[in-house]
Structure 1
Amino acid sequence: MIWVAATLIAATAQTARNAAQAGLTKDIGTVGATAVRFVFGFPFALLALALAGALVPIPRPDLAVLGWAALGAMAQIAATALMLMTMRQQGFGVATALMKTEPVTLALIGAVVLAEPLGLARLGAIGVATSGVVLASGAGWGRAAWSSVATGVLAGGLFGLSAIGFRGALLALPDGGFVTRAVTILSLTLGLQAAVMVAWLAVRDRPALKGIARHWRVSLGAGALGAFASLFWFIGFALTPAANVRTLALIEVVMAHVLSGRMFRQTVRPAQLAGMGLILAGVGWLLAIAAR
């Protein structure tokens, strides 16, 4: 059950990273703030790889590993772009709920691409937890445009595809323990993503690139948290199907509501409480299945 601990650590670190990035969006834009997690996370991934290499041999990626990693890296960037588009059109609540349909699409993609078994019980747990996210979001669905719903669901599917790419890369490595595999793929994917984002900003948004450099202290903290979270996501992916990891990660929605209530005194409606209850029930069901 190491994957459970890894996922909970990753979800907690990701919540902290999101809080660290929140202030950057106003100063350098959403694309610039998104780039921070890759550009400033990459050096920390290399540091972790160097420390691991001092203790154990690092597996050498072949073309299959590179292909899976590139799939995961590019799908994650595309998903982030669609997520930002959905947030701009429909607001945070609707976009968040649509993003969190990821475990459903992830389970289906994993069954087709990696031949990972679904099972009715596992699908039921994923469905209950995902339904809870829709309620907990507090989104105003009556005003949601179908085009935005489509882009949001597509973004969730691409996030699922990125997780499949990362797990495929981890499994394709010829040798190494789960931590070594995770550090290797983390460094590879963050390197690819950092290169793509820097090239994009250099061509399309140089002010954002300058803003990232100007706010390097905050960016460094966000990058460190992002790399730390991604490392534990990858440890989870190395040990169990990605759908299990991302379903358990829905606990992050409950964490975010608790944080909002304590820090910003935001009230939670009864429907949202019911949604959080469904998330916890679905996650508990999944853990019971995994423990068999």
Structure 2
Amino acid sequence: MELWIPITIFAAFCQNVRSALQKHLKGRLGTTGATFVRFGYGFPFAVLYVAVLHHGFGHDLPALNAGFLLAAIAGGLAQIFATFLLVHLFSFRNFAVGTAYSKTEPVQAALFGLVLLGERVTPAAGLAILTGVVGVVIISMARTPLTLQALGTSLAGRPALIGLASAALFGASAACYRAASLALGGPIFVMQAGFSLAFVTLFQTAVMVIWMAAREPDQLRASLVNWRAAVWVGFAGIAGSIGWFTAMTLQQVAYVRALAQIELVFTFAVSLFVFREATSAREVAGCLLIVASIVLLVLGR
């Protein structure tokens, strides 16, 4: 098995844990505060990870260059805006439709990978990506009417456009992160990925602190007050991000983001077996499509 596959699955699992912790913390913080703790309490762990790689394992720190800085900053900003758009979707009554469109990220990541990095996917991988996206869309709209007419009509709606824009920005950020990591060069991929993550997370933290200090100081204070719970969000988030950055250093973003859809399977399993929540036939069908897409993706590789 190629190394990027278990790394991506690990990252998806950590992201699932982080999302659950972040959702719990949102009861004490607002949307901005809950978003900030992902970066603000995560970057110290990213810096510690790089320090261990450097001082503990003797890996040299990479040298900064213009290509890295441009890609890392662009990716960091794109991820922040994508996250805000995704959170903004929940202010709409029919947010499920927009959320479904936001799950087109793997397709858009493939397009950005082609445009920015010249990376192409095989026909089998392309089919796997589309299959997984269909599965995720079905799960996202499990509680709403799912017809071609409904999807077509909703495409012109504001939530759908916001969802598509969010997916585009997430896809662009993934491609930029891979470009940044590859721009560092060097023989040790873990240091490339770790250094890129530490730089991006520190940059995102600085941007959000400046924004919150000027526009939402109460959220900044609340984030500091709730540090005991927030630190676990940061830890889980960075553990997942280490996986994402490492996997995207090793493999094209289209493949990594397609396999990342397994996170929905984890969510479904927790909902079914831990919380004993009722599930619909549509949700089961969506999960089966995601599993089928993962099998097709791995076999296609």
> Which residue number corresponds to residue 126 of structure 1?
129
TM superposition shift of 1:139: 4.4
The answer (yes or no) to whether the contact 2:94–2:159 under 8 Å persists in 1 is no
Whether 2:191 is the aligned partner of 1:187: answer: no
TM superposition shift of 1:91: 5.7
- Scaled by the length of structure 2, the TM-score of the pair is 0.93
Identity %: 37
Q: Determine the C-alpha separation between the residues in 2 that align with 1:48 and 1:25.
A: 27
> Which residue number corresponds to residue 31 of structure 2?
30
Q: Determine the C-alpha separation between the residues in 2 that align with 1:190 and 1:167.
A: 15
Q: Determine the C-alpha separation between the residues in 1 that align with 2:226 and 2:95.
A: 25
Choose the corresponding residue for 1:68, options 47, 71, 81: 71
> Which residue number corresponds to residue 107 of structure 1?
110
Gaps of 5+ in 1: none
TM superposition shift of 1:40: 0.3
Q: Determine the C-alpha separation between the residues in 1 that align with 2:263 and 2:113.
A: 22
Gaps of 5+ in 2: none
Q: Determine the C-alpha separation between the residues in 1 that align with 2:195 and 2:24.
A: 31
Whether 2:248 is the aligned partner of 1:237: answer: yes
Q: How many residue pairs are counted as aligned between the two chains?
A: 290
Q: Determine the C-alpha separation between the residues in 2 that align with 1:91 and 1:3.
A: 36
The secondary structure found in structure 2 opposite 1:164 is helix
Choose the corresponding residue for 2:222, options 206, 211, 226: 211
The secondary structure found in structure 1 opposite 2:92 is helix
The secondary structure found in structure 2 opposite 1:61 is coil
Q: Determine the C-alpha separation between the residues in 2 that align with 1:242 and 1:8.
A: 14
Q: Determine the C-alpha separation between the residues in 2 that align with 1:20 and 1:88.
A: 21
TM superposition shift of 1:235: 0.6
Q: CA RMSD in A?
A: 1.5
The secondary structure found in structure 2 opposite 1:265 is coil
Q: Determine the C-alpha separation between the residues in 2 that align with 1:114 and 1:17.
A: 30
Q: Which amino acid aligns with 1:187?
A: A
The answer (yes or no) to whether the contact 1:41–1:226 under 8 Å persists in 2 is yes
Q: Determine the C-alpha separation between the residues in 2 that align with 1:59 and 1:130.
A: 36
> Which residue number corresponds to residue 40 of structure 2?
39
The answer (yes or no) to whether the contact 1:87–1:94 under 8 Å persists in 2 is no
Equivalent residues in 2 for 1:137-286, closer than 5 Å: 137=140, 138-140=142-144, 142=150, 146-286=157-297
- Scaled by the length of structure 1, the TM-score of the pair is 0.95
Q: Which amino acid aligns with 2:14?
A: A
The answer (yes or no) to whether the contact 1:58–1:176 under 8 Å persists in 2 is no
101-110 vs 256-265, which moves further: 256-265
Q: Which amino acid aligns with 1:153?
A: L
TM superposition shift of 1:261: 2.0
TM superposition shift of 1:99: 2.2
58-67 vs 114-123, which moves further: 114-123
Once the two structures are superposed, residues 34-66 of structure 1 have per-residue CA deviations (whole angstroms, 9 ceiling, x without a partner) of 010100000001111111111211111211101
